[in-house]
Structure formats: structure tokens, C-alpha cells
Amino acid sequence: MKIKPDLKIVLAILLLALVIFPVMAQERQVTGTVYEPDGVTPVFGATVVIKGTSTGTSTDARGAYSIRVTGDNPVLEIQFLGYVKQEVAVGNRSVINVVLEEEAIEVSAVVVTALGLTREEKSLGYAVTKVDNEDLTKAVNSNWLNGMAGKVAGLTAVGAGTGPISSMRVTLRGDQSLNYGANEALFIVDGVPVRSGTTATSGSSPYTNSGGDFPVDFGNGASDLNPEDIETVSVLKGPAATALYGSRAANGAIVITTKSGRRDKGIGVTVNSSFVVERAGYWPDFQTQFGSGSDIGQNEYCFWTLNPSLTGTTDYPSRNLSRYAWGEEFSEDKLRYQYEGKDWETGLISPTPFVYQDDWFTGIFQDGITLNNSVAISGSNGEGQNVRFSVTDTRNKWILPNTGYNKQAYSFSFETPVNRHIDFRTKVNYYRTDSDNMPMAGYHQTTVMYDLMWGYNSNSMSNWRDEYFEGRFNAINRNATISENGNSLVVAGTGSYNPYRVLYEELNTTDKDRVFGNMGFTFHLLEGLTLDLRSGIDLGVEFRTQRKPKLTYVWNNGFYREQSMTNFEINSDFLLRYQKDFLDGRLTSTAAFGGNNMVYHYRRNTVQLDELDIDGVYHINNVPFGIIPDPSNYRSYKTINSLYGFVSLGWDDTYYLDITGRNDWSSTLSRDNWSYFYPSVAASVLLDQAFDFRTNLPVVSFAKLRLSWANVGNDTSPYSLDQYYSASSISGGYALPSTIPDPMIKPENVESWELGLDAKFFRNRLGFDLALYSSSTTNQIVSVDIDPIVGASGMNINAGEITNKGIEVALYATPVKSSDFTWDITLNWAKNKNTLVSLQEGWDPDQPFETDMGTTIGGRLHVYSYIGQEMHQIYGFALQRAPEGSYYIDDNGKQVDCSGQVILDATTGLPSVESTADHFLGKVNPDWRGGFSTSLRYKNLTLSGVFSYQWGGHRYSVTNGILSYQGKLTNSLEGRYDGIVAEGVNIVSTNEDGSAVCQVNNTVTNSIYTYYQARVLDRYNGESHTFETSFLKFKEARLEYALPAALVQKTKVLQGASIALFATNIFSWDKWPQYDPEGGIMTGTNVYSGVEAGAFPMTRTLGMNLRLSF
Amino acid sequence: MKKLKILAICLFVLGSLYSCTKNFEEINTNPNTTLVGMIQPSGMFEPILYNSANQWLNRTWYYNNELMQFTAHTGGVTRREHLYFLEDSRDWYGFWNHYATYGKNIDHMYELAQENDDPSLEAIALTFKVLFFSNMTDMFGSVPYEEAFTGRKLGGTLTPKFNTQKEVYEFLFEDLEKANDIYATSPIFLNPAMDGMYGGDMQAWRKFNNSLYLRILCRISGRSEMNAGAKMTEIINNPAKYPLFTSNADNAVVKFSGNDPYISNFGTTTESDFTSSGRKLTRQLIGLTVQTDINGNQVYVDPRLPVIGKKNPIVEVNPDNIWIGTVSGCTEIERSEVDRGTSWLNYRVFCRRDAPATYMDYAEVQFILAEAALKNHITGGAAAAKSYYEAGVRASMVKWSEQGAFSDPAVTITTGDVDTYLASPLGSWDLATNKEEFLGNQKWLALFWVGMEAYHEYRRTGYPVLTIGEGTVYNDNILPTRFGYPNVTISTNNANATAALEEMGGPNDMKTPVWWSKQAISGGK
């Protein structure tokens, strides 16, 4: 079989795209009026377009139109929102009046489901949420997944605030697996799975005080996708929806369809340009009254170790500095020997006013700018052959100096019939991303945010800038033997560094090329029988470098790492489908049988220099004598073969039943376990049809009740069956692995139920979709922590059960709809409860299961799950409180219960921190979350807004802890000089039952430093730094003006034009102390919720967008 | 015809898919590394020797020095070990995991050595096992010994029962005897170049084995039921069967070549990170190494002090160029005052790529014998004690003198210098009023930079008498008596851990004494 695409047509289309010339033909005028169904009321704003062309107009206030037609058999298309599109052949007429028909109830909406099959939404027995391109491209986000937030009930996209392309973890309906990294939704592009995860630069945690390696966020795989090329996104939430995708979609799937060429004959060009300015905000609540110091202002602040030859006086203080802000009160009148007071040419040091520097923290941030330009050409010969080609160029300059990225996306789509029986189609996308520097994120000595948190609030950012750019950051100035703690702005050895040096010299580069696409044939074998053959690849090649000059924390002699990664996946599948109607079309049926072969290869080659020979030179040969570069290479290979089939039955367009079955054979499991089968059943009934609501209950335009059940299996990662040595840096040296595998590990199993009701009223002006679901994951393949004394620190087992139960509601309404004015509202709300039902056998139920976050904030904070309770709860230190049953006697001699109040020492007035980090501080997962969006259209002007909200989650903030205990925030202002009488009780005596007799505290706490720094605001006192993450965010606003069709038409060239202004993250109402209440921390390849550690500030953006189509 | 075509396509598709699972086992074979059990025992040796030595150096610096008041990290604000801020994941789990991880690798080397008939590594594995297990039990109290490391083997357990410290010691004695017997057969160490400690010399390993025997006998010598004295006597009376260290040349010292990856732990650390910005010498150390006259003038200094330490060179803060120590356990308000002009560790000595790491030295053997003689566990009494003591000090001086060569300026300790020291109020046996305390103090000095030994010995003897600062609020002003079992132990092996704690008589904290400690013995536990 040869494919013979009509090359001439392709070529012609491309040529036409370059030279747009008007088609000269015979022209004549057609006029007429468009009426509403009553045949009297004129319709204003209806569009009248000549079919197959770009020529069009719209009706005026009297419903009248006038249009010039050309060609042999022109056909007019008359269209107006809410009415059926009409086609009228012009013939010889010159006046054509049209009476519109109200659109029938919109039941024929089509969605993309598993295996890329398009199905009528009404026939589905499970929930599918569709997001259109428009919703994703309305506002330009660094990661298009951001645009999904708040738009789909049950979808959670969490980023970590880690840089220009913040990776996001996308989950649907909660975490199914104890294995935190195995909960993400599967991404499918044009029917073929694509890799969405992140590839870590290293597995280190983003909270640490030792070790010099740290995750850099280069973006996750799904963030590569270009939103401009996305046609629609279908979110398949439950296993029933994804059962045909098999094990990888056990957590639901995000099914993306990219754009194809236009269907109607002709050529179209769309140009889209946007310009976005991004500004950091949502700052911590800094105090501005007290300066650097750690002794409550008892001694004068003095940055330098002085002597008379430096100051010209013998009356100088001794060096007294601290990065804390527990020092003297600021005053213009206080002259202090500060960093800025040194004349670096003469070496003389003079005192300067000791005042708060407004830019000490924020001064490093700049306005980020993103330019996004795309051109898309689309053409069709009107006979089934179509092509689309687009190029998008994105240039980002981020909010920190010397960071950002460039990205180009090329997308090509081509469809053609090969002959009467065979169709061919292909889609190819090529993305390249490169960056000269992506910043390191997290709380660590080598990140900018750490440097800022540990800066002096009496020191302007310009000092840091000057120190770096004037070359004062050097070994001599950092040497503590020169002066007590060196001459550099941050004292030697304390770990934090000049942020400008971090940004200009500790570079993390990336160069990423990715191709994915597929090609396939559809054979129309017999009436109703088709065979699809398709093969898709996803090839990603990335090259990264990480550079650290000498004198970097931990890497005192420099560091260089090169990393190459290849991800390669091929999916080949076939699907044989037979469709036939019986009994005069009352019974519709489709049966299909298919198979898939998935092959996945991963290769990672890393070479690391732990020392550099020549400073500032980065290549793998720049090694000093005696140092051997450490290579670390890894490759893996995995394959899954599958067979599947389904039967879909429909009765009277009213009752539907879907049954699917799939068997997977995964290479990652042992012979006895590598084959596993799972079925699904989904049924739905259209109540409006069944009970003839059309006549009986006309307000109901549509009502569907659906019920589904599914069971899905899940495999594990390659090489998890046997014990393999881990290599040592010593050649020929080995160590035992840290994990004990289970060779007989069984596939995971997710079983789920879903019940849904979808109803529309008042001719679709109002509607809701309600879903109730319950899922249970058993036989979890999970690595549990075990006591290292048994011979390993972890073990892979099948254990435990997790359940997710939830409700999702989507509401939509069009309160106003007239020819000039339309107002739409959509609202969604989702509640999910994620419960740990059981763990491995023998697990003491009083003991928590700790989510391996890669960090537990040094053991001071834990994210625990207890058997029988909701998962992911935060535990940590808290102040000691009066035990249950404690009381005091008030002035009237009455006994007042005071259990739970803070215990304060009667003499000092100081509270104490509990000795173990086991105080419950809040649960990570919110009670409910959702979004709200609205759009108002008046004529050609559209105003839209998107809100998202969440209620009841909690998160621990390292940033708040660090800034608070250093006295840099307003929460430590009270009583700085005069002491405070803290609220709480003193213990008078303790009763036998453990309760206490107390008295109300009257002691004045004078040790303010200890009170705040070591007790109430101690960085490890989790209670003080764990906050609710309830919020209401005004996420997006957009005002768009589309050029009126009449005006567009006059240009002769344009088909449409619009200009829009938009803003994102406009406001957030929350109790979170700084930045973004949403998000987590990035560790290795995961984004963990529940902890924030050195996140970058949340940004507001303001952008402009111009879209022209020709 | 057309139908045939269709059929052919279908069959082809089906056929190509269902060649199927036949390569699965091959696909799922890890190409990156070696299956456990497929290597020679020597593959385990170097990582154990070098990496554990480095980890140990780090722990000495990070924990032992801070708890034992050699140094105090008063300079920064986040390190609070000297304030007894020690908790589960970094500290308790850190130690537990350190011992367990090396323990399991040693255990595996032992298995491989038996399977591959390599007696030299079999014996070395036993010696190492004792080194790690004795430290583990000394740190935590009761620990699993008999059932440890079986989780990864067939028929093993994930919930090993704990052995009491007494039981563990009895097992360790057996291990040492067994190793000593193997060494006695003079097995061949197949690749001597691999042995960065003794160059494959089995007799040297044997001396280490038996010196270690002496160390752990000394550790439990307060427990009369163990009859440590009798065994010590047997050992010293039978040097042919139980050869011990006879000079510093026998020391169990890992020698790093300085070439990658054989780089000493602090080989690339800056002076700031190592000491000057944080960990300063303490008044405790200065007090025992500097003799001050009634006017407060520093008149005589232990010759080892300028090797391990360095006066603060900044004139502005140390105008008199004297030794100043900071206060371990000080409060934040005291900090800026007591920290001024304080002395540092000698960066040039410790932060060399080829700086050695000591598991055990000859001086310690002499100090063990001195104490044993003084307490009449072995014969000789006070006179023998004095001569053992002086031999110990001489050995310690010689050891540090070798390191002094790397100091700037170089420090050499001559025999005359040692004589002077032994006659001075700092080092004179005869001038000491309380000989036990004097020996304890001197042993503390000699154990500087040797693992966690000073911490263990302090809990056994109560010497030197340390000052507990007011800032040590994190363990209620109690110097940790042990480290707690980590959370994972309590979670996954709860019944056994709880039983062990009950037997030790306290909750899982840092206040319950270990079995051989002075506190336990004097408390009648």
C-alpha cells in the first residue's frame, strides 16, 4: 500500500501562505434580513459567511446584511449563538431572508475518551471534563498546567514555586498510592502517552544544611507542551474512564488533542503575539523597627573589626553583628560602622546612619518579561486533506537577574485519504527549550532565597550588588583569619552567599530537544468495520550543566556536572472496530478489539567534577591532579504488551452500557505476576429521554444518570525484583542496596465506583454535573521504611489500602443571553477524603507511616499518615500546654478549666517547647477546593475572570520559620523593650491524674529574645509556622476586544482580529504568611505538599495579547 | 481478495504483538550493576575501611567534640549540638543508620569471605563487626545483635529481638576470640595494596583485634560480674596468643593517599566551615592544657595543644595572643562575649587531603592498662599505673608530634618536651591528688579525634568533670546519657524496642543510663 498524499496541494498551501492573493472572480451583491424563530424579530449580530471562504459580515440592528458573493455556487452560512447554523445556497437570488431555528438541546457534544476515541458525551457512564484551548491560552502562564487550575473539579495541580517553569504535580481525585511519586495523572497526546514527570538533577532534598547538591527545576515533561497547539483537553478522572489505557492511567488521564488543519477548503493563517510582565509580590510582613543583632540592642551594631588606623579614632565599638534582627532600634541619629561605611580604596571605615533598608530583601527582584509569538498556517483542499503547521517562539527573562529560558515549538499535522478505504494522518511536534540559567530553588546555602532570608535588614541590596560586581567577593575577604569573621558581607562559614554571585556564576543550563508525534492509518474495511494502526514516539534528549565556582558552599574547590538524558518511548497499537445498528437503529453497538506494545528506554549519563582545576572553567577535563571525575550512568528498559477490547451498546439513544477488558503483560514483574487483567463496566441512562421530560418536564433539557465500576492494575519500575549492589566511588568497591526487593511482588490494584448525575435546564442555560466516587487501592507496591538494623532501610512490599471518597460538583449558568450581551458562569467544587485503611502486616497502628518527603525538616516536622485516618497530616513541635482537666481559680473563687493553654514559667514567664515533634499541627489535604469563572460579553468586548479557592489544608513554612525566629517579621515586635505578659497559665501544682492546678500568668517576660527566638517563634516550633492554606484567589482577568466582522471584512485580508489585556494572580485572600498558599517542595522527581521551603515569591502578571487571523 | 488482505493484516498485527513475554526476564535484568552475591569479598573491603573512617571523622567533629566540650559551635545559630539539641532523624537515626549500614556490609563481607574461602577477610570482618557493634550498643544500650541483618536473607526477620548490652558484649568477646584464632593461622590478604591501614599485614590486624578486646573489656570493667580484670590479665600475660599494640606503628589508622577517591573527610573543607566561624575550642580544653599562674598569665602549655589548636590570630580580638576558650552550652546573650577571640582547631592539621583517621591507638591501650592497674584489675598497682600512664602520654605526644609537622609554624614535640610535661602540674602523675580523675582527664585528652570514645568514656568514668552551661535546655540540662532509638525502630519493631527500653528502665530519651555507665552502676541498676 502506498500513500499518495497530494503533494501539489501541500505545496500550494505553503505557497499561498506566503503570498496571499485575492481570488479574482465574478462578484455580485446579496442582501437580506435575519429573523428570530418568530419570523418577526430581527437578529442583530448574526454572522453571514460565504461557505468555504473567509468572506463574511454580520447583521446590523435591523437584522439586515449585505454581502458580495463570488464563485459558481456560493452558499451562505448564517450563524448566531444559540441557534442552528443555516446554510443557504444563493443560486440566482439577490435577496435572501432567513428565519433562524432555535438550537436543539445540545446533547451531541463530543469528547475524546480513552484510546483517542471520540464519543458523544451523553453516552458515557463516567466523568469527563473538557477544557478548551481558549481556557488555556487566555492568559500566558509559565506552565500551561497553571491554566487548568480551578477549571476542573477534582484536579489538583501543585507547583513548588521553583522557578521560571515551575514543575507541577497533577493528581486527579486524590492520591491513590502510598508511593507518593506514583500518583500523577497520565498525559496522552493525540492518543499516545507522553512522559510528564520531572527528571531530577539529583535526589537531594530542598531543605538541608549539609551536602551541596540541590534540585534545579528544569520543568516537567508535560510543561513542554505548547498550549497554542492544544485543541482540547479531556480530563478522564476515574479508572472507568481510563480502564482502556491500562496500568499507567490508574490515576486518571489528561487526554490532549492537538490542532489539525481546517476542515473546510482554504487557507488560514493565525498570528498570535503576547507580551507579559511578571512581578514578584506577596512579601512577608517585615518589621522595620529593629536592626541586625542578637542581643536585643544591648551592644552597638558594628560590622567591622576595627582599629584606630581604620577609623581615625580610638573610640570605636567591638565587632558585633548578626544576621538576626534582634538588635538595636533603627534611628537616623544612630551612626554605626556598617558594611556600606567602608571606603574600599582607602580602607577607611566611617559610621553611617543605622536605618531600615527597604530593599534589603526585595531589591534583587526585577520585572520578568515573557514574549510569546506564534504563527499557525492551516489549509485544506475540502476533500479530506488538510495540513497545519505552527511555530511558537517564547522568550522569558525571569524575575531574578540572569535567569530565564527560550523555547521554540514546531507543530505539524497532516491528514489525507490515501484512497477510498484508507485514511492517513500524522502529527509531529518538536520542542526545544534552552536556558543559560535556571535558578536553584529551596532552602539551602546555595539558593538565592536562602541568601535573602539570611541577609541583614540594615543592609541595602546595592551593597550585595557592589560586593559582587566590584570583585570584593573573593577568598581574601572571605577568609576569617583576616579579621574575626572576614571582610565579606556575610560572615565566612555561615553558609549564605552573595545572591548576585549565585545568579551570575552558579549556573544551571539546559538544552532540551523533544519530538513526539504519531502516524496512523485507518482502514475502512467493510461497512462499519474499521482498523486503526498507529505508532507514536516520544523522544526527549536533554543536556544539562551545573556550575559552581570555587568558594561555593560545600564545593569549596568548585563543581561541575554534565548530564545527558534520553527518554524514548514507542507505542504501537491497533484497534479493530465494528459498528452496527440493529432493530431499525434502536440498538446501536460498537465492539472493538485492540492491542498495544509499549517500549520505554531511559538513559542518563552524568559526569561530575567535585573540584575544578582552573576556577570558572567548566568542562570535564578541567580536573586538578589526583581527582577523578565521577561518572554515574544509568539506563533502563521496560516494555508492556496489552490486549484489550470493549463493547458499547445503546438502546433508543437512552440507555447505554460500556464493558471493557484489558490484559497487560509487564516486563517489570516476575513470571507469575506479569500478566494481569482488569475489567470495567459503565452504564448510563438519559432520564430526559426515558421519562420524556420534553413533554412532561420541559424545564429539564437534559438529564443523565451514570454509574461505573472499574478495576485497574498497576506495575512497578524496572529492576525491582532482585538485589543489586550499589556502586561506590572507590573503583571495584560495592555496598549492599538500601532496599530489599520482593521478587514476587504483585501488581497494584485500584477498584473504583462512580455515580453521577448530569442535568441541564432551561434550554441549557443552567446545568450541573454531580459525581460521587469511591476508590480503593490495594496491594500497593510501596517502599516502606524499615529499621536499618535488619539489613536495609527500605523494603518493597505489597501492602496497605488507601481509599478515596469524594464529591465533585460542576455548575454552569448563562443568566443573560441576548444578541449583544451574554453572561456565563461556571463553578466547580470538589471534596476528596483520602484515608489510609491499612499498612503492612504487623504494623503497630499507633505508629505513623511517614510520607517519604525527602525531607522532614531535619526531623522537626513530619508528614504522617495513621491507619484509619485521613492521609498526610503534619506533626511537629509545639509549646507545652496545660494537660486535660487543668484549671485555675478565678477572682470569684470559681474553678475555670484551662486545659490546652500555654504553660508559662511563673518566674521567667517563658513557655517551653515540647520535647518531641509529635504534636498534631494540621492536615495537608484541603477539605474542599474548586474554581469559579465568569465571562461577560457585550458585543465585541469580553470580560472574563477566573477564581480558585480551597478550604481546610495546612502547610508548614520554612520561610516563615526562618524569618520569624530571626526577628525579621512583625510577629516579634510586641514587647521587644518592655517585655510582655504572655497569655497562658503558670502551674501551681500537679494532680495525680496528670492534670494541673494553675494560675493565670501575670509574670512579665523580660527575656524577649529567648521568648521569641527559642520558644514561640523558634524555627522548629512547627506550631508557629504551620498555617492554613485556605484561600480565594483571583487568578485571571481578561478583557478582550474582537474587531467587528464588518470591520474585519473591510480589510479584505483579515479574517479576525482581537486584542486582549490580561492579568494573573491578581489577588489572594488567605492566611498564609507569604507568597503562594498553594504548592509544595520539590525533591528529586516529586513535588510534595505540606511543606514550603524557600519557595520563590508568587508573581502577578500583566499581559497583552494580539491575535490576527488571515 | 480484499478480505484476505484484511485477515492478513490482522494476523500480522496479532502475531507481532504476541511474540510477547519471552524476553521479559532479559529486559528486566539490570544492566547498571551487579547482582548481590556475585562479587569477591574484597569488593566490600575498601568502602568499609575508607568510607566508615571518614564518616567517623565527621561524627567525631560534629558530635563527640561538641558533647565532650573539646569544641563548641557557638559561632553560628543553627548548630545546637553543644546545647543538646539532638533528635530523631538527623542525630538518632543518623548514628543508628551509620552503624547498621556498615554493620550490614561487614556482615555481607563476612558471608562472602566464608563462601569464597578467604579467611583474612573473614577475620577482618569480625574485627570490624566488633568495632561497629560495640559503638552501637555503647551509644544506644540494648540493640539487636543475634538477629540483626537477617531481613535481607531467606528466613530472616524484620523484627529482630534486642540483646541486652551484656549479651552483646558476650557475643563480641566470642567474635574477637574467633577472629584472633583466624589471624593466628596467618591467612594471606590477597591484595595488600588495597589495605590502607595495615597493607595486608595480618599480625597487625591481630594486634588491633586484641587491643579492641582490651578496649571493650575496659568499657565493662565497672561491671564486676563480667570479670574483665581476669580476661585483661590473661591477655597481657599471653602476648603470643593476644598480641597488642606495642607502639604507634601498630595504630589502627586509615591512611588516605589524598588522591581521589582516597581523600580524608575534611580534605576540601575551608577553615571557616571547619572551625573559625563556628566550632571554637572551649574553656574546658584550654583549662586542661594550659597552666595559668595566680595572675592569670598563661605560663605553660601542653605541647599537643598547638598541634590540635590555634590561637586566634586576630590582634583586634586577641591582643595578648593567648589561648582563649569559649563556653560550651552558653546562652545566646552570653555568646557574643564568651566567643570573642577564641581559639580554633588547627585547620592545617585536620583539613588535609591525606589527614589520617584513627580507629584506635597505642596510647589508649596504655591508658586502659594504667586504669586497670590502678584499680587492681591487673597486677602492678599504682607504680605500674604510673608507668603505663607515662607510656600513654609519650605515645600520644609522638602521635601528635607527627601531625605537628603540618602545622604552621610546624610543631615538634621532643622527648625533652614530654619530660617537661610529665613533670609539670598539667602532666605529673605524682602531683595529681585524685589519680582516677587525673587518668580520666588525661585519657580524655588522648582520645581527642578518636571516634566517639571520649563520650563513651565520660559516661563510664564521669571524667573529666564537665560544666553544663545554662543554654543546654534542650535535654533539660542533662548531658545525653545515650541516644534514643530512631522512630523507624519504634514504629516497625515496637514490641522488641519497648521490651528493650523496659529492661533498660527508662523511656526512649537521652536520660536513661547505659548498662556499663557510672550512673547505672552507682544507681544500682
Contact criterion met (CB < 8 Å) for A787 and B44: no
Tell which CATH architecture fits domain A7-99: Sandwich (2.60)
Q: From CA B176, how far away is CA B241, in angstroms rounded?
A: 12
Asked if A859's CB is within 8 angstroms of B13's CB, the reply is: no
* Domain span at B69: 40-246+478-518
Q: Which residues of B touch A856 (CB under 8 A)?
A: 89
User: For residues A206 and B393, what is the distance between their CA atoms, to the nearest angstrom?
Assistant: 47
Domain A111-280+368-444+507-548+558-726+736-839+1065-1109 of CATH type 2.60.40.10: no
* Residue A67 three-state SS: strand
- Chain A environment of B78 (Cβ under 8 Å): 209
Closest-approach residue (CA) in chain A for B279:
A493
pLDDT at A831: 94
B260: nearest CB among A556, A627, A790: A627
Question: Which of B327, B350, B373 delimits the end of a domain?
Answer: B350
Instruction: Point out the least confidently predicted range of A149-153, A649-653, A702-706, A1062-1066.
Output: A149-153
Residues of A in contact with B20 (CB under 8 A): 641, 665
* 3-class SS string, B369-386: HHHHHHCCCCCCHHHHHH
Could you tell me if residue B156 is inside a domain? yes
Residue burial A580-604, b: 16+ Cβ < 10 Å; e: rest: eeeeeeeebbbebbbbbbbbbebeb
Q: Which residue has the higher pLDDT, A577 or A52?
A: A577
In degrees, rounded to 5, the angle at the alpha carbon of residue A609 between the alpha carbons of residues A605 and A613 is 145
- Angle A960-A962-A968 from CA coordinates, rounded to 5°: 80
The residue count of chain A comes to 1110
CB A153 within 8 A of CB A130: no
Say how far apart CA A395 and CA A372 lie, in whole Å. Answer: 7
Rounded-to-integer distance, Cα A731 and Cα B45, Å? 11
What does the radius of gyration of chain B's CA atoms come to, in whole angstroms?
26
Q: What is the C-alpha separation between B165 and B501, in angstroms, rounded?
A: 12
Mean pLDDT of chain A: 86
How many C-beta atoms surround the C-beta of residue A419 within 10 A?
12
**pLDDT computed for residue A1078 by the predictor:** 87
Question: Does the distance separating the beta carbons of A733 and B27 come in below 8 Å?
Answer: no
> Are the beta carbons of A595 and B14 separated by less than 8 Å?
yes
Same domain, B224 and B284: no
Residues 283-312 of B with CB under 8 A from A: 312
pLDDT at site A12: 45
Q: Inter-chain contact A295–B333, Cβ cutoff 8 Å? A: yes
Q: What is the dihedral of CA B363, B365, B371, B372, to 10 degrees?
A: -160
**Any B CB within 8 A of A841 CB:** no
d(CA A46, CA A35): 10
* Shared-domain flag, residues B189 and B297: no
Does residue A209 belong to the interface with chain B, where contact is any CB pair within 8 Å? yes
pLDDT digits (tens, 9 = 90+) for A152-201: 888 888 777 777 877 788 888 888 777 777 788 888 888 888 877 666 66
CB-CB under 8 Å, A533 with B272: no
DSSP-assigned states of every residue in A474-533: SHHHH-TTTSTT-SSSS-TTS----HHHHHHHS-EEEEEEEEEEEEEEEEEEETTEEEEE
Determine contact, residues A301/A295, Cβ cutoff 8 Å. no
pLDDT tier for residue A207 given thresholds of 50, 70 and 90: low
The predicted model gives A981-1003 an average pLDDT of 91
Q: How confident is the model at residue A5 (pLDDT cuts 50, 70, 90)?
A: very low
Q: Is A1028 helix (H, G, I), strand (E, B) or coil?
A: strand
Nearest to A725 by CA among B72, B151, B44, B329: B44
Predicted ipTM of the assembly: 0.93
Does residue B241 lie in a domain region? yes
Domain-terminating residue out of B315, B331, B350: B350
Q: Which residues of A touch B156 (CB under 8 A)?
A: 790-791
Query: What is the pTM (predicted TM-score) of this model?
Result: 0.85
B491 and A CB contact within 8 Å: yes
Q: DSSP characters for A183-217?
A: -PPEEEETTEEE--S---S----SB-SS-S---B-
Give the model confidence (pLDDT) of A373-409 as tens digits. Answer: 999 999 988 788 999 999 999 999 999 999 999 999 9
DSSP B34: -
**What pLDDT is attached to residue A382?**
79
| Strand residue runs (E) in A612-722 | 630-651, 655-666, 675-686, 700-714
What is the pLDDT at residue A29?
83
**Which 8-state DSSP code applies to residue A72?**
S
Task: Please give the single-letter amino acid code of residue B193.
Answer: A
Residues of chain A contacting residue B2, judged by C-beta atoms under 8 Å apart:
525
Comparing C-alpha atoms, which of B193, B56, B61, B181 is closest to residue B123?
Answer: B181
> What is the model's pLDDT at position B373?
97
- Residue B4 touches chain A, beta carbons under 8 Å: no
Angle at B159 between CA B157 and CA B163, to 5 degrees: 100
pLDDT at B76: 66
Residues 6+ apart with CB under 8 A from A371: A273, A274, A275, A276, A393, A394, A395, A396
Chain A residues with beta carbon closer than 8 angstroms to that of B23:
639, 667
The model's pLDDT over A229-251, given as tens digits with 9 standing for 90+, comes to: 888 888 888 777 888 887 778 88
B32 touches chain A (CB under 8 A): yes
Lowest mean pLDDT among A323-332, A726-735, A844-853, A955-964: A844-853
Kindly report the number of other CB atoms within 10 A of residue B253's CB atom. 20
**Which residue of chain A comes nearest to B336, CA vs CA?**
A320
Owner of C-alpha cell 418577526: A40
pLDDT band at A103 (very low <50, low <70, confident <90, very high): low
Q: Are A850 and A836 in contact (CB under 8 A)?
A: no
- Total CB pairs under 8 A between chain A and B: 284
Q: Do the chains contact at A674 and B493, CB–CB below 8 Å?
A: no
Q: How far apart are CA B459 and CA B288, in angstroms?
A: 19
* C-alpha distance from residue A44 to each of A35, A79, A86, A1042 (Å): 9, 11, 16, 16
CATH of the domain at B181: 1.25.40.390
DSSP H stretches of helix in B185-240: 202-219, 228-236
Same domain, B181 and B296: no
In this structure, are B241 and B283 located in the same domain?
no
Out of B6, B90, B260, the one facing A525 most closely (by C-beta) is B6
Residue of chain B nearest A857, judged by CA positions: B89
Residue of B74, B272, B351 for testing the chain A interface, max A β-carbons within 10 Å: B272
**Calpha distance B525→B523 (Å, rounded):** 5
- The answer on B242 and B284 residing in a single domain is no
Nearest to B277 among A492, A727, A850 (CB): A492
Candidates A636, A787, A860, A1011: best to mutate against B (most CBs of B within 10 A) is: A787
Contact B260 A643 (CB under 8 A): no
Are A791 and B316 an interchain contact pair (Cβ–Cβ within 8 Å)? no
* Closest CB from B31, B42, B108 relative to A635: B31
Radius of gyration of chain A (CA): 33
Extract the C-alpha cell encoding B270: 575551608
CB contact under 8 A, B271 and A480: yes
User: Looking at the structure, do residues B191 and B330 belong to the same domain, yes or no?
Assistant: no
Per residue in A534-552, pLDDT tens? 999 999 999 999 999 998 8
Phi/psi for B400 (5° steps) reads -75, -30
Are B257 and B354 a contacting pair, CB within 8 Å? yes
Whether chain B has a CB inside 8 Å of the CB on A740: the answer is: yes
B24 touches chain A (CB under 8 A): yes
Each residue's pLDDT expressed in tens, for chain B with a length of 525 residues: 556 565 665 555 555 555 567 789 889 999 999 999 999 999 999 999 999 999 999 999 999 999 999 999 987 666 789 989 887 777 999 999 999 999 999 999 999 999 999 999 999 999 999 999 999 999 999 999 999 999 988 889 999 999 999 999 999 999 999 999 999 999 999 999 999 999 999 999 999 999 999 999 999 999 999 999 999 999 999 999 999 999 999 999 999 999 988 999 999 888 888 987 788 999 999 999 999 999 989 999 999 999 999 999 888 889 899 999 999 998 877 877 788 889 999 999 999 999 999 999 999 999 999 999 999 999 999 999 999 999 999 999 999 999 999 998 999 999 999 999 999 999 999 999 999 999 999 999 999 999 999 999 999 999 999 999 988 877 888 999 999 999 889 888 989 999 999 999 999 999 999 999 999 999 876
How does DSSP classify residue A430?
Answer: E
- The residue among A682, A676, A674, A596 whose CA lies nearest residue A646 is A682
Interface of A with B in 894-953 (CB under 8 A): 915-917
- A674 closest CB neighbour out of B17, B21, B494: B21
- Between strands A739-740 and A794-799, the pairing is parallel
Please answer yes or no on whether B277 and A491 come within 8 Å at the CB atom: yes
C-beta atoms of A576 and B333 within 8 A: no
* Residue A1006, all three cell numbers: 523580660
**For a pLDDT cut of 70, what percent of chain A falls above it?**
93
For residues B120 and B195, membership in a common domain is answered with yes
Among candidate residues B303, B324, B350, the one where a domain is terminated: B350
d(CA A688, CA A703): 5
Residues of B numbered 141-160 whose beta carbons fall under 8 angstroms of chain A's beta carbons: which are they? 143-144, 148-153, 156-160
Reported as type and span, the H/E element at residue A104 is none
Check residue A212 and give its pLDDT: 57
C-alpha closest to that of A1017 among A450, A284, A442: A284
Q: How far is CA A267 from CA A21, A521, A1043, in A?
A: 11, 25, 20
Partner residue opposite B314 with nearest CB, options A305, A667, A738: A305
| Chain A (1072-1091) residues lying within 8 Å, Cβ to Cβ, of chain B | none
Which three cell numbers, joined as nine digits, stand for A973? 515586635
Cβ atoms A160, A167 nearer than 8 A: yes
- Produce one character per residue of A9-23: b if its CB has 16 or more CB atoms within 10 Å, e if not: bbeebeeebeeeeee
Q: Which residue from B512, B511, B518 is spatially nearest to B475, judged by alpha carbons? A: B511
Contact, B183 vs B209, CB < 8 A?
Answer: yes
B234 and B276 together in one domain: no
How many CB atoms sit inside 10 A of residue A358's CB?
13
pLDDT at A526 > cutoff 50? yes
Nearest to B149 among A729, A790, A1010 (CB): A790
Distance CA B116, CA B127 (A): 19
Give the residue, A181 or A617, on which the prediction is more confident: A617
Question: CA separation (Å) from B107 to A535, A544, B180, B202?
Answer: 51, 40, 17, 20
* Closest CA of chain A from B321, distance in Å: 14
Whether the CB of B423 is below 8 Å from some CB of chain A: the reply is: no
Q: Any idea where the domains of chain A sit in the sequence?
A: 7-99, 111-280+368-444+507-548+558-726+736-839+1065-1109, 290-355, 849-1032+1039-1047
Helix (H) or strand (E) holding A825: strand A821-838
Q: Work out the percent of chain A whose per-residue pLDDT is above 90.
A: 47
CA distance A483 to chain B (A): 6
Q: Show residues of chain B in contact with A784, CB under 8 Å.
A: 492
Interface test with B, best of A633, A734, A855, A1020 (most B CBs within 10 A): A734
Domains contained in chain B, number:
2
Q: Does B97 touch chain A (CB under 8 A)?
A: yes
pLDDT class for A54, splitting at 50, 70, 90? low
Nearest CA of chain A to the CA of B443: how many Å? 32
